[in-house]
Chain A
Amino acid sequence: SQQGEEDPQALSIQEGENATMNCSYKTSINNLQWYRQNSGRGLVHLILIRSNEREKHSGRLRVTLDTSKKSSSLLITASRAADTASYFCAGEEYGNKLVFGAGTILRVKS
């Protein structure tokens, strides 16, 4: 079963703009993680936010977590063409099991 549901499913922006992706999940989680996947490649871990955290930053990435609404958002500031990829949220359940959403396809046009 899928834990996270991302929206939008696809996002197209101009280079330099900010990109915001949202994720909702269904059950209790230990943490929520965001991953990036370039076409046909493996996943790369971007950032992890624990259930007792509300906001976290890493470079141009900003992640928020609202456990009361069971939702998270990923903001990429000052986007670049190289940010073009699919982005997935994943909630970590018991036993380090990750349950992934369907992902957001981000296209950054130069």
Chain B
Amino acid sequence: SQTIHQWPATLVQPVGSPLSLECTVEGTSNPNLYWYRQAAGRGLQLLFYSVGIGQISSEVPQNLSASRPQDRQFILSSKKLLLSDSGFYLCAFTPREETQYFGPGTRLLVL
């Protein structure tokens, strides 16, 4: 069966520190992968999506970057976190079908 993993579940980081959030998918090959951010009480904003290894599309300019070093691995990074980077980050995938399946999310608090 297809599953998606995200970690860590919660992260508290100081301003200016680096960030690395990881997402992995099991049970499917060559999925589309997505990173979303959700501000408190709001909908989801698409940050990055990837249709294959090394292929990253950025939806909004920001302090973050994404990489896809392996087919089922998607990483969200930052060299220096800002206060405004706080939020709930969700990874998702589509196994070449229409429905997106979401991971459990990472809650990031930048202090």
Interface residues of A (CB under 8 A from B): 2, 4, 30-31, 33, 35, 40-45, 48, 88, 90, 92, 95-103
C-alpha gap A43/B107 in the complex (Å) = 14
B103 / chain A contacts, CB cutoff of 8 Å: 42
C-alpha gap A106/B100 in the complex (Å) = 22
Set A31, A35, A41, A90: member contacting B105, Cβ < 8 A = A41
Q: What is the 8 Å Cβ interface bit string for chain B, positions 18-62, against chain A (1 contact, 0 not)? A: 000000000000001010100000111110010100000101000
C-alpha gap A103/B43 in the complex (Å) = 6
Set A2, A30, A45, A101: member contacting B100, Cβ < 8 A = A45
Q: How far is the CB of A98 from chain B (nearest CB, A)?
A: 6
C-alpha gap A74/B88 in the complex (Å) = 25
Contact A43 B43 (CB under 8 A): no
Task: Give the B interface residue count (CB, 8 A).
Answer: 25
- CB-defined A-B contacts under 8 Å, sample of 13: A35-B102, A40-B105, A42-B102, A48-B98, A88-B44, A95-B49, A97-B46, A97-B49, A98-B34, A100-B36, A100-B43, A102-B43, A103-B43
B90 / chain A contacts, CB cutoff of 8 Å: 42-43
Contact A96 B102 (CB under 8 A): no
Set A42, A92, A100: member contacting B98, Cβ < 8 A = A92
Q: How far is the CB of B92 from chain A (nearest CB, A)?
A: 8
B residues 75-104 in Cβ contact with A at 8 Å: 88, 90, 92, 94, 98-104
A101 closest partner in B (C-beta): B43
